[in-house]
Chains A and B, each alone.
Chain A
Amino acid sequence: MTSSLTPSSVGSALVKRGLADMLRGGVIMDVVNPEQAKIAEDAGAVAVMALERVPSDIRRDGGVARMSDPQMIQEIQASVTIPVMAKARIGHFAEAQILQALDVDYIDESEVLTPADEENHIDKWDFTVPFVCGATNLGEALRRIAEGACLIRSKGEAGTGNVVEAVRHLRTINAQMRRLSSADPSELFALAKDLQAPVALVQEVAATGKLPVPLFCAGGISTPADASLVLQLGAEAVFVGSGIFKSEDPVRMAKAIVEATTHFEDAAIVAKVSTGLGAAMRGAETASLEQRLAERGW
């Protein structure tokens, strides 16, 4: 009754997408050092995203934003027991190779960093480590899945503390999926052309009513109410970047967003955890932004 390992079984689509399934209903928090990573884990985060600067600081500082220093990623890996993710630039497969060599648990091919290739994203099928990618609409999500992404996050507008773009992207993806579900099968070819997405994936979404991989939400979530909102709009988990460590009381904010994510349908609990939290991050109106990160990637 002892089974043994077949070598080909590492890095299968099932184990790559499976880790995303394990993160559902949870909060993934951006952290820039081991202290913040501990705070995130203590608060009940399901994973941390290790990066040198949170998006609001990247936005403020300008310049080229790149993959983080491996030392900093390793220090964070050593400080927590939960999965550690890290970001590579769009199309920068060498950064992704480094992150895989560092044994990170998930790579975010992220528009928050400065793109390295304006035509091609990373061929993610080449990797054992799974990838998450951002999307503003269904076509973009399906193109990333065709390239091997195992998890999609709606992009929102990172570093703004403003949830409006996250809502726009989630609603767009959901509306486009509903359109496919109600379409006649003979219409799916033309719809695939409109979406600029592979027909097979379009047919799969039409049949199942959902993406072939989990759909999380990112970009602008900064209060427990924001988390509840995007979960009610169909997101299965949330990424919180600047929203926690740019708030007045990060420890309480982190715990509150975790609880609001689990109990998103229970307004009494969301109200309770929202009470007396201190100030959320200051935030920025989308119209005032010089750079729209969500426009990176296509």
Chain B
Amino acid sequence: MRPIGVLSLQGDVREHVATLENLGVAARRIRRTSDLEGIEGLIIPGGESTAIGHLLVTSGLREPLATLIGDGLPVFGTCAGLILLAERVLDGRDDQWSFKALDVAVRRNGYGRQIASFEAPIEIGERGTVPGVFIRAPRIESFGPGVNVLATHDHGDGTGAHPVLVRQGAAWGCSFHPELTSDVLVHGLFLDALREALR
């Protein structure tokens, strides 16, 4: 398999690279347009979505990535990455833009500011339970019919269960940070689907 790109403008890039390498997959850090040549898929890491969004524009990566994602490049975003893939962003900046690859509405800091950041076990259907690390996490408030919800979390705040891991075609997003733990299940699911599509 060709390398998986990890968008390396800002955020917890190193952890995603390490997780991919633990799964035996080559990772390539993406900072400029020439880095995009020949990647099999892309991970957008955690970080600050406004900062990464700004750097996507200044680096010239926004347009070529929008084209690649629109053409079906497998892409997986965690936390800030989910925000950058979402169709709608609530409580963001007025000029906040996104790639609109996932038909979900996400609320920035939807679980609260840092003091409310939390850990909770996340059950992914029959595939098992992973540790969920939510840091100023975006909350998925609604989703369209094309979205496949793979895991949810009920925060006990009376709003019920919200999706925390979703997939729409080749685009995946999650509210939490699987890359911050040693559990590789979520990345593995993304890679399994990617290999399946290659076959």
B152 proximal to A (CB < 8 A): yes
A25 touches B9 (CB 8 A): yes
A251 proximal to B (CB < 8 A): no
Q: How far is the CA of A90 from the CA of B47 in the complex (A)?
A: 28
CB neighbors of A among B124-139 (8 A): 124-125, 129, 132-136
**Size category, A interface:** 35 or more
Q: How far is the CA of A19 from the CA of B123 in the complex (A)?
A: 23
Contact with B along A8-47 (1 / 0, CB 8 A): 0111101110110111111000000000000001111111
B136 touches A83 (CB 8 A): yes
State how many angstroms separate the Cβ of B68 from the closest Cβ of chain A. 20
B122 touches A3 (CB 8 A): yes
A26 touches B51 (CB 8 A): yes
B55 touches A262 (CB 8 A): yes
B151 proximal to A (CB < 8 A): yes
A18 touches B177 (CB 8 A): yes
Q: How far is the CA of A24 from the CA of B179 in the complex (A)?
A: 14
A21 touches B46 (CB 8 A): yes
A227 proximal to B (CB < 8 A): no
State how many angstroms separate the Cβ of A28 from the closest Cβ of chain B. 10
Residues A22 and B12 in contact in the complex (CB < 8 Å), given A3-B123, A258-B51:
yes
Give how many A-B residue pairs fall within 8 Å (CB-CB).
Answer: 154
State how many angstroms separate the Cβ of B126 from the closest Cβ of chain A. 9
CB < 8 Å: which of B46, B92, B123 contacts A2?
A: B123
CB neighbors of B among A52-106 (8 A): 81-83, 100, 103-106
Residues of A within 8 A of B14 (CB): 24
B50 proximal to A (CB < 8 A): yes
Q: How far is the CA of A202 from the CA of B73 in the complex (A)?
A: 45
Q: How far is the CA of A258 from the CA of B59 in the complex (A)?
A: 12
A18 touches B133 (CB 8 A): yes
Q: How far is the CA of A77 from the CA of B158 in the complex (A)?
A: 26
Residues of B within 8 A of A47 (CB): 48
Which residue on B lies nearest to A214, using beta carbons?
B12
A6 proximal to B (CB < 8 A): yes
Which residue on A lies nearest to B54, using beta carbons?
A44
B155 touches A5 (CB 8 A): yes
B24 proximal to A (CB < 8 A): no
Residues of B within 8 A of A157 (CB): none
Residues of B within 8 A of A255 (CB): 58
Residues of B within 8 A of A1 (CB): 123-125, 151-152
CB < 8 Å: which of A3, A42, A82, A258 contacts B132?
A: A3
CB < 8 Å: which of A3, A4, A129, A266 contacts B115?
A: A129
Residues of B within 8 A of A46 (CB): 10, 47-48, 51
Contact with A along B107-126 (1 / 0, CB 8 A): 01100011111111111110
State how many angstroms separate the Cβ of B35 from the closest Cβ of chain A. 11
Contact with A along B174-185 (1 / 0, CB 8 A): 000100110000
A10 touches B108 (CB 8 A): no
State how many angstroms separate the Cβ of A116 from the closest Cβ of chain B. 23
B192 proximal to A (CB < 8 A): no
Q: How far is the CA of A2 from the CA of B113 in the complex (A)?
A: 23
A296 proximal to B (CB < 8 A): no
A130 touches B114 (CB 8 A): yes
Q: How far is the CA of A100 from the CA of B177 in the complex (A)?
A: 24
Residues of B within 8 A of A104 (CB): 114
Residues A41 and B93 in contact in the complex (CB < 8 Å), given A4-B153, A10-B116, A46-B10:
yes
Residues of B within 8 A of A10 (CB): 115-118
A5 touches B92 (CB 8 A): no
Which residue on A lies nearest to B150, using beta carbons?
A1
B135 touches A3 (CB 8 A): no
Residues of A within 8 A of B116 (CB): 10
Could you pull out 21 A-B pairs where Cβ atoms are within 8 angstroms? Answer: A1-B124, A4-B155, A10-B117, A22-B11, A22-B12, A22-B47, A22-B135, A24-B10, A25-B8, A25-B13, A44-B50, A44-B51, A46-B47, A81-B92, A81-B108, A129-B114, A259-B58, A262-B31, A262-B59, A263-B59, A266-B32
Top 3 closest A-B pairs, CB basis?
A44-B54, A105-B114, A9-B119
